[in-house]
């Protein structure tokens, strides 16, 4: 493919991710609905609805993209709380800010263009840090996890929602067919961009599975790390806390 992402070097990965998300920004929401048959909305609702957060809290949603997680978390922190939506990609942030403003969500929201590997926030700034469908795109995941730990307040939670390893054997070939045959075709039909969607399928397979990611979170300093599989491990939620 023109991205040549099969053997992409670490230093090129950031550029590739930049190209992919700049390319998909305008069609991102439509494609999410098509690819997951709308189920991503349920995963996101569960992820935010069961997060450790209360009214008045300050939250960082990293790789926040078009703002689904930030909008749901805003309901939970209320008028007195605030959400910072951080994303490395200006195109995704612009779509995100427009969508939030269209929904009437303005007060208590900030948008920061930033790389998860080097966050522009002081230590202990947030009660909750979330990253949904973002960590697999980050080149140095260990650095990103250390940064999330640093900006979290003591007692705070980090929550990661990410594609993971399917746990039911018979379902694996069905899922592979969907990822490598259906997904790029949907990308071609609806976004005229099969390469970006092939990248997404491949990035899911390369992402560390449940136990490995849990170990990486422990190595970054988090306590009481655990994961919860949703939809037979198509996605998993990983939690960690700052003791
Ligand atoms: N969280 C949103 C959601 O659940 O719909 C968006 C997820 S989207 C698949 C992944 C996002 O990660 C993109 O907006 C991309 O720009 C962002 N991203 C990729 N690498 C990043 C990095 N190193 N730091 C911050 N954001 C990054």
Say what angle helices 194-206 and 10-24 make with each other, to 10 degrees: 130
- Torsions phi, psi for 213 (to 5 deg): -65, -40
Summarize the confidence of residues 175-202 as an average pLDDT: 86
Structure confidence by residue, pLDDT tens digits, 9-42: 666 788 888 888 887 777 878 888 888 889 999 9
Q: Residue 28, SS3?
A: helix
Higher pLDDT, 145 or 32: 145
Helix (H, G, I), strand (E, B) or coil at 221: coil
Encode pLDDT of 196-220 as tens digits.
Answer: 888 888 898 899 999 999 999 999 9
Pocket test for ligand 1, best of 68, 88, 100, 114 (most atoms within 8 A of CB): 88
Is pLDDT at 3 greater than 50 in this prediction? Answer: no
Among protein residues, the one whose CA lies closest to atom 9 of ligand 1: 133
Give CA–CA dist 33/82, Å, rounded. 27
Which helix (H) or strand (E) segment holds residue 157: the answer is strand 152-163
Query: Residues 53, 55, 60, CA angle at the centre, nearest 5°?
Result: 50
| DSSP single-letter state for residue 2 | T
Q: How many other CB atoms are found less than 10 A from the CB of residue 1?
A: 11
How far is the C-alpha of 217 from the C-alpha of 209, rounded, in Å? Answer: 12
> Rounded to 5 degrees, what angle do the CA atoms 209, 215, 219 make?
140
pLDDT tens digits for range 28-84: 788 888 888 899 999 999 999 999 999 999 999 999 998 999 999 999 999 999 999
Residue-range domain boundaries for the chain: 37-168+206-241
> What dotted CATH number matches 37-168+206-241?
3.40.50.150
Q: How far apart are CA 178 and CA 39, in angstroms?
A: 14
Residues that constitute the known binding site: 66, 87, 115-116
In this structure, of 20-29, 81-90, 136-145, 156-165, the range with the lowest mean pLDDT score is 20-29
Helix and strand numbers, DSSP H then E, in the chain:
10, 7
Q: For 87-123, what is each residue's pLDDT tens digit? A: 999 999 999 999 999 989 999 999 999 999 999 999 9
Residues with CB under 6 A from ligand 1: 17, 21, 62-66, 68-69, 87-89, 92, 115-117, 132-134, 137-138
Q: Name the phi and psi angles at 66, rounded to 5.
A: -85, 10
**What pTM was estimated for this model as a whole?**
0.92
Pocket test for ligand 1, best of 63, 97, 100 (most atoms within 8 A of CB): 63
Q: How far apart are CA 214 and CA 238, in angstroms?
A: 7
Read out DSSP for 96-146?
Answer: HHHHHHHTT--TTEEEEE--TTS-SS-TT-EEEEEEES-GGG-S-HHHHHH
With b for 16 or more beta-carbon neighbours within 10 A and e for fewer, the 40-78 pattern comes to beebbeebbeebebeeebbbbbbbbbbbbbbbbbbebbe
């Amino acid at each position: 493919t023109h991205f040549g992402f099969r053997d992409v070097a670490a230093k090129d990965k950031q550029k590739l991710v930049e190209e992919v998300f700049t390319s998909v920004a305008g069609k991102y929401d439509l494609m999410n609905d098509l690819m997951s048959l709308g189920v991503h909305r349920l995963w996101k609702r569960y992820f935010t609805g069961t997060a450790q957060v209360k009214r008045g809290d300050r939250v960082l949603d990293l790789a926040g993209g078009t703002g689904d997680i930030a909008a749901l978390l805003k309901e939970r922190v209320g008028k007195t709380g605030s959400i910072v939506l951080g994303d490395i990609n200006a195109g995704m942030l612009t779509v995100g800010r427009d969508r939030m403003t269209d929904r009437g969500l303005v007060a208590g929201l900030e948008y920061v263009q930033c790389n998860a590997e080097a966050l522009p926030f002081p230590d202990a700034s947030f009660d909750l840090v979330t990253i949904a469908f973002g960590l697999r795109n980050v080149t140095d995941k260990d650095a990103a996890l250390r940064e999330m730990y640093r900006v979290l307040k003591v007692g705070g939670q980090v929550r990661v929602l990410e594609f993971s390893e399917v746990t039911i054997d018979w379902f694996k070939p069905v899922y592979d067919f969907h990822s490598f045959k259906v997904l790029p075709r949907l990308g071609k039909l609806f976004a005229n961009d099969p390469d970006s969607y092939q990248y997404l399928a491949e990035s899911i397979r390369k992402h560390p599975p449940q136990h490995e990611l849990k170990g990486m979170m422990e190595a970054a300093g988090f306590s009481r790390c655990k994961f919860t599989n949703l939809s037979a491990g198509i996605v998993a939620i990983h939690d960690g806390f700052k003791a």
